[in-house]
């Protein structure tokens, strides 16, 4: 059956700006002060876009969970 994706996003101040379980094919748009810290469960079925560009986070994925920081200087 289709799997759900758990996504948590925190902004540069550490404030949670998204924390939810997403249904398959769901889209979420978040805005926050970078750097954005993203934790994705079920990473193999999730896509992340940052400033309109697809993010390759395969090197940050372990056991189908990814932790990515975007917008860091």
Q: Which residues pair with 21 in a beta bridge?
A: 6
Q: What does pLDDT average to in each consecutive run of 10 residues of the chain (73 residues)? A: 82 96 90 96 92 94 96 83
Cα torsion angle, 38, 42, 44, 49, sign: negative
With a threshold of 0.75, does the pTM exceed it? yes
What are the start-end ranges of the E strands in 1-73? 5-10, 16-22, 36-41, 49-50, 53-54, 61-62, 65-70
Site of tokens 């550490």: 14
Distance CA 24, CA 13 (A): 29
């Amino acid at each position: 059956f289709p799997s759900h994706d758990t996504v948590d996003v925190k902004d540069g101040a550490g404030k949670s700006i998204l924390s939810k379980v997403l249904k398959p094919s769901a889209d979420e748009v978040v805005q926050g002060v970078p750097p954005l810290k993203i934790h994705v469960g079920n990473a193999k079925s999730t896509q992340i876009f940052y400033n309109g560009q697809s993010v390759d986070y395969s090197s940050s994925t372990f056991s189908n969970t990814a932790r990515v920081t975007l917008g860091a200087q």
